[in-house]
Structure 1
Amino acid sequence: MKTILVPTDFSKNAHNAMRYAAGLASQVEAKIIIAHIIHLPVAPLESGMVITPDMHLEEDFSLELGTLANNLRQEYNNQFAIETICQYGYLTGDLNDLVKTHQVDLVVMGTHGATNFLDKLIGTNSSEFSKSAVCPVLIIPAVAQFKQIKHIAYASDFESEEGVFLRQLFSIAQLFQAKVSIINVIDDKELNILSDTQVVEDITSQFPEVVYSIAQMRIHDVLEGLHAFVEESQADVLAVSIHKRGFFDELFHSSISKKLIYHTTSPLLTLPENPYQKSWESTSTHSPYSSI
């Protein structure tokens, strides 16, 4: 059984992400864990001061989590298992601990308003966690409505080793029986050092049995180009890799119109550079799946 972790702050957007996760769990018969982390203060305290957690908070939030879980069980007629977790801690570290302890395959998070570009696009907590997560994270825009994942578009500039990211991508595609489109993104101001043929050969050598399509895009505005590709190809999810000085950083630090920021409707799948599941780090050429 696969496991989906859904962090919640009980906001409207978190609730939307939870319902999206429920739809996914119903699609693949996965277990859902709904978790709430009660934040401990980050700033150092004055000498001698000790914070005693308010145990009533944990009790209250646990009851609220129970209500959410019971509502989902009733709505989906107990199609999948649901657990709840409430604890004090820090979002990024504690969520990664939960991922490892409960062998989570996918984290599903919502977005909420914030100030800078990246946070406006995918939410403060979502962006912070996705950059240090140890498993794939599916980020659900506030306006996204659930639909089955049947087509995943993966965007990369192929400037670094892609094996660990593609292994995660193909595993998730197998789980949802989704087709995969790989987009080789090229900034029109830069020299193209890779050909389509070279990219295909590199992928085929590592994943000889995987079925996928590939497109090369030379564009001036990366985000607008990707948005257009997702719309035209009717991809259900846009996937990107998370690594230092990589495509993700360039993608989300480039300029973009407010219209695109606030009208992003497709979920974003982020793939970590150092996943906790060793099978995703394997250098074996064995394919994660043989057909889509």
Structure 2
Amino acid sequence: MKRILVPTDFSKHAEYALRVAAQIARENNAEIILLHMLELPHQGTDAMGSGSDIPEIMFFKNRAIDKLEDLMDVDFLKGISVSEIIQFEKAFEGILGVSKKNDVDFIVMGSHGASGFQEMFIGSNTEKVVRFSDVPVLVIKNETPSFSAKNLVFASDFSDEIKKPFKQLLDFARGFNANLKLVMINTPNTFKPTAVAERMMADFMAEFDYPNYSTHIYNDVNVEKGILNFANKVDADLIGMCTHGRTGFAHFFNGSISEDLVNHAIRPVITFKI
């Protein structure tokens, strides 16, 4: 992990994400790209507006530059290589475009609003970034003075399509020397006998070299509640999952992760695209 992209709108939630990105950058000797997307009032009909809009455009740009420069001078970024980008583009398209253009390894974003993950994921820019980003996305909801991924829960059905993104998760886990807790959620509609579930997980892990892991089977009424309750039970630092680009959250057990998981998760969530 050498290059971390942190989109910011200068909100407190964006600062929470930047603080976590700074911690990760220090541990991995990585650089941070600080991105502010400047969506102008007339954007959408005319990318840069008419000639009469130029003073307004320059006002917003200069104000954003001042804020970015102030942000780059904060104490928690000292000693870290930080660059800044201001992009005249809609947030979702711009974030993905900057990520690809700058060969970003990782995106860290914050959630916004009282409704937390619901506001962030359902139909918003962050939801779209999570859905379509080719690189892992870490979403931070609350202030996290000391970010840790030592106790990392990864929930999955452990099918073959998960193997490719799982390699990315292992790279992340190695960087934090994480204790990886692999969990398969058993529900009434997707019930598997313990012996069958254990064999599926053992066969899945047989292809990977990562000694510090344990496997778990957790029974609950649905997958969403199972992941949340298991994460609470083991006091997870971080919840990991995979996503499908075409539909958003990955299909666990032939069904989509519902709104309940992202609405109620209080822990950081990291996603990896299938």
Deviation at 1:233, TM superposition (A): 1.8
CA, structure 1 residues 112+119, in 2 after alignment: closer, same or farther (shift >3 Å)? same
Name the SS for the 1:162 alignment partner. Answer: helix
Distance 1:17 1:180 in 2: 23
- Give yes or no for the alignment of 1:204 onto 2:206: yes
Name the SS for the 2:219 alignment partner. Answer: strand
Q: Which moved more, 1:163-172 or 1:97-106?
A: 97-106
Which residue matches 1:111?
Answer: 111
CA, structure 1 residues 100+117, in 2 after alignment: closer, same or farther (shift >3 Å)? closer
Unaligned runs of 5+ in 2: none
Deviation at 1:116, TM superposition (A): 10
| Contact 1:27 1:148 survives alignment (8 Å) | no
Which residue matches 1:70?
Answer: 73
| Contact 2:22 2:76 survives alignment (8 Å) | no
CA, structure 1 residues 208+30, in 2 after alignment: closer, same or farther (shift >3 Å)? closer
Unaligned runs of 5+ in 1: 274-292
Among 251, 258, 261, the alignment partner of 2:257 is: 251
Deviation at 1:64, TM superposition (A): 0.6
Amino acid at match of 1:265: I
Size of the alignment, in residue pairs?
261
Amino acid at match of 2:215: I
| Contact 2:120 2:126 survives alignment (8 Å) | no
Distance 2:105 2:229 in 1: 29
| Contact 2:115 2:263 survives alignment (8 Å) | no
Which residue matches 1:195?
Answer: 197
Distance 2:88 2:64 in 1: 11
Q: Which moved more, 1:30-39 or 1:227-236?
A: 227-236
Name the SS for the 1:89 alignment partner. Answer: coil
Which residue matches 1:268?
Answer: 269
Amino acid at match of 1:56: F
| Contact 1:230 1:238 survives alignment (8 Å) | yes
* Structure 2 counterparts to residues 98-177 of structure 1, below 5 A: 98-113=98-113, 118-119=118-119, 124-159=124-159, 161-177=161-177
| Contact 2:178 2:212 survives alignment (8 Å) | no
- Give yes or no for the alignment of 1:56 onto 2:59: yes
Deviations along 1:80-135, one digit per CA (max 9) or x if unpaired, are 21111112012222212221222211111000127797336789332221111121
Percent of pairs with identical residues: 26
Name the SS for the 1:39 alignment partner. Answer: coil
Deviation at 1:175, TM superposition (A): 1.9
Distance 1:251 1:42 in 2: 34
| Contact 2:19 2:76 survives alignment (8 Å) | no
* Structure 2 counterparts to residues 10-89 of structure 1, below 5 A: 10-39=10-39, 43-44=44-45, 50=50, 52=53, 54-71=57-74, 74-78=75-79, 80-89=80-89
| Contact 2:158 2:200 survives alignment (8 Å) | no
